[in-house]
């Protein structure tokens, strides 16, 4: 599924009878290598409607320059809400349990493992279409944690210890999508949204065979206006905090009791996946392929370096390193029908480069990824031509902000 497909789907769902919002980090998609670049404009309207943040087998995309601050490591404090007397919702087929106010309406959706919760005054609308305020939970084997490195995320953990990434829309940055109504002139009348991408660990319950392993739960909170957002957000966040597996799952990092993978059992793979979060942030993604042998556990240090003419480019964080840890062959990137399939998981790797066209760093670059044992691969860097032809006709500009390379998430 390409970014264009997901954008069209999200916009259709906003007015459909059976919406199934995709959450940010979010979708259990089969990402395939494309023969030519696909540049799609992921505008702020789409981010508000469904917090779309996916690679989805694209080679590039563009959009409005991000105006959000650098990633932080904590969620802003919210009002404390008592959950005493709340009703339990349990989906044993997808290993999910959560609690909600007893008066809230709960409606399962047609999408696998998806349910929408809404306040009692929106019960009638919940039965017809997307309610003015809604909490939509998808536990059908979504992406592990995170997808494309969008700006403005925060990290955290649920009370049960599950790590998550949280994204929140900015109504002030809202722009109309092609063929859609213009956003309200009053920012307070514009929609708001937040998305949680939660690491649910390893199990096979309710998971299609190709997703048996590390997976995630996505929670999408949407409000038709700031007034509804302010009224219900604290309750929605309390609902998120109650989410937990029905039965315990194994760690996403894999089984450390397995023998360590030998160097001849794996290799780095870049299937050509890259893209843009807005026009100012470039990201590069790939995986690790199993080369055979007995089941093993891999813990490897990867390092990405930006070079020009064989020399390291002087920018913050260059080179940038990260650890990957998982099991082979289960977590390896595989081919299906001649195309690489990116399933996500702990051996899926990604880096992003902010402000990649600042003066002094713009121009042709080479990205060099190295790993333990001298493994190495090379990829081309970002190109202005990738975004200049985007749906919004945006270009990357030197905004006076530091150019920085970092691992994701």
Q: What is the pLDDT of residue 55?
A: 32
Asked whether 49 and 42 are in contact (CB, 8 A), the reply is: no
Q: Name the percent of the chain in helix, strand, coil, to the closest 5.
A: 15, 35, 50
Using the structure block, give the residue that is written with the tokens 């360590």. 260
- Regarding whether 208 and 66 lie in a shared domain, the answer is yes
- Regarding whether 275 and 169 lie in a shared domain, the answer is no
- Regarding whether 154 and 29 lie in a shared domain, the answer is yes
* Angle at the Cα of 341 from the Cα atoms of 306 and 286, rounded to 5 degrees: 15
Query: Per-residue pLDDT for 303 more than 80?
Result: yes
- Regarding whether 136 and 217 lie in a shared domain, the answer is yes
Q: What is the pLDDT of residue 207?
A: 62
254 domain residue, yes or no: no
252 domain residue, yes or no: no
* Angle at the Cα of 164 from the Cα atoms of 54 and 44, rounded to 5 degrees: 40
Query: Per-residue pLDDT for 147 more than 90?
Result: no
Q: What is the pLDDT of residue 45?
A: 28
| Boundary residue ending a domain (242, 276, 299) | 242
Question: In 3-state terms, what secondary structure has residue 123?
Answer: helix
Query: Per-residue pLDDT for 89 more than 80?
Result: yes
Number of domains in the chain: 2
Question: In the sheet where 133-142 sits, what is the strand order?
Answer: 105-108, 114-118, 133-142, 213-223, 192-203, 163-168, 153-157
The C-alpha atoms of residue 362 and residue 351 are separated, in whole angstroms, by: 18
- Of 42-56, 128-142, 390-404, least confident by mean pLDDT is 42-56
> What average pLDDT does this structure show over 66-78?
43
The C-alpha atoms of residue 395 and residue 328 are separated, in whole angstroms, by: 41
Query: Is the model more confident about 30 or about 83?
Result: 83
| Boundary residue ending a domain (184, 211, 242) | 242
Question: Tell me, what CATH number does 319's domain have?
Answer: 2.60.40
78 domain residue, yes or no: yes
What count of residues does the chain have?
Answer: 409
- Regarding whether 231 and 277 lie in a shared domain, the answer is no
Q: What is the pLDDT of residue 345?
A: 82
The C-alpha atoms of residue 44 and residue 278 are separated, in whole angstroms, by: 9
258 domain residue, yes or no: no
- Regarding whether 228 and 280 lie in a shared domain, the answer is no
Q: What is the pLDDT of residue 301?
A: 97
How buried is 155 (Cβ within 10 angstroms: 0-12 exposed, 13-18 middle, 19+ buried)? middle
351 domain residue, yes or no: yes
> What average pLDDT does this structure show over 171-182?
76
| Banded model confidence at residue 298, pLDDT cuts 50, 70, 90 | very high
| Banded model confidence at residue 210, pLDDT cuts 50, 70, 90 | low
pLDDT digits (tens, 9 = 90+) for 253-273: 999 999 999 999 999 999 988
Asked whether 298 and 266 are in contact (CB, 8 A), the reply is: yes
Pairing between β-strand 349-354 and β-strand 404-408 as defined by DSSP bridges: antiparallel
The C-alpha atoms of residue 191 and residue 220 are separated, in whole angstroms, by: 13
Query: Per-residue pLDDT for 29 more than 80?
Result: no
Bridge partners (DSSP) of residue 259 are none
Query: Per-residue pLDDT for 293 more than 90?
Result: yes
- Regarding whether 290 and 203 lie in a shared domain, the answer is no
- Regarding whether 237 and 201 lie in a shared domain, the answer is yes
- Regarding whether 283 and 361 lie in a shared domain, the answer is yes
Percent of the chain at pLDDT above 70? 73
276 domain residue, yes or no: yes
253 domain residue, yes or no: no
Using the structure block, give the residue that is written with the tokens 């799952």. 249
- Regarding whether 330 and 271 lie in a shared domain, the answer is yes
231 membership: H or E segment, kind and range = helix 226-242
pLDDT digits (tens, 9 = 90+) for 101-136: 999 999 988 777 899 999 998 877 666 677 899 999
Q: Which domain holds residue 219?
A: 3-242
- Regarding whether 294 and 188 lie in a shared domain, the answer is no
- What letter does residue 13 receive in the DSSP assignment? H
> What average pLDDT does this structure show over 389-401?
71
| Boundary residue ending a domain (242, 272, 302) | 242
141 domain residue, yes or no: yes
Query: Per-residue pLDDT for 399 more than 80?
Result: yes
- Regarding whether 205 and 73 lie in a shared domain, the answer is yes
């Amino acid at each position: 599924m390409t970014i264009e497909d997901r954008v069209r789907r999200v916009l259709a769902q906003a007015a459909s009878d059976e919406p199934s919002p995709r959450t940010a980090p979010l979708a259990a998609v089969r990402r395939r290598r494309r023969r030519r670049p696909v540049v799609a404009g992921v505008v702020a309207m789409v981010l508000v409607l469904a917090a779309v943040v996916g690679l989805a087998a694209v080679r590039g995309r563009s959009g409005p320059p991000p105006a959000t601050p650098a990633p932080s490591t904590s969620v802003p404090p919210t009002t404390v809400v008592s959950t005493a007397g709340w009703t339990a919702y349990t989906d044993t087929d997808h290993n999910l349990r959560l609690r909600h106010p007893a008066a809230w309406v709960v409606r399962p959706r047609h999408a696998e493992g998806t349910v929408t919760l809404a306040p009692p005054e929106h019960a009638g609308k919940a039965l017809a279409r997307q309610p003015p305020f809604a909490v939509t939970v998808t536990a059908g084997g979504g992406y592990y944690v995170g997808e494309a490195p969008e700006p403005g995320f925060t990290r955290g953990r649920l009370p049960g210890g599950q790590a998550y990434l949280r994204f929140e829309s900015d109504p002030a940055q809202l722009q109309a999508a092609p063929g859609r109504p213009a956003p309200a002139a009053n920012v307070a009348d514009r929609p708001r949204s937040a998305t949680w991408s939660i690491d649910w660990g390893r199990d096979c319950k309710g998971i299609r065979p190709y997703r048996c392993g590390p997976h995630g739960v996505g929670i999408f909170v949407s409000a038709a206006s700031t007034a509804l957002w302010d009224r219900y957000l604290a309750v929605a966040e309390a609902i998120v905090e109650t989410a937990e597996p029905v039965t315990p799952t194994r760690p996403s990092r894999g089984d450390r009791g397995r023998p360590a993978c030998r160097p001849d059992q794996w290799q780095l793979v870049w299937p050509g996946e890259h893209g843009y979060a807005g026009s100012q942030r470039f990201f590069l993604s790939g995986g690790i392929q199993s080369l055979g042998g007995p089941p093993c556990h891999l813990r490897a240090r990867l390092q990405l370096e930006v070079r020009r003419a064989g020399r390291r480019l002087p920018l913050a964080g260059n080179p940038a390193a990260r650890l990957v840890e998982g099991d082979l062959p289960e977590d390896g990137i595989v081919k299906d029908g001649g195309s690489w399939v990116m399933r996500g998981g702990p051996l899926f790797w990604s880096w992003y480069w902010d402000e990649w066209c600042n003066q002094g760093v713009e121009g042709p670059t080479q990205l060099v990824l190295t790993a333990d044992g001298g493994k190495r691969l090379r990829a081309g860097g970002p190109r202005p031509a990738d975004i200049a032809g985007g749906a919004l006709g945006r270009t990357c500009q030197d905004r006076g902000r530091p150019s920085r390379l970092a691992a994701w998430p």
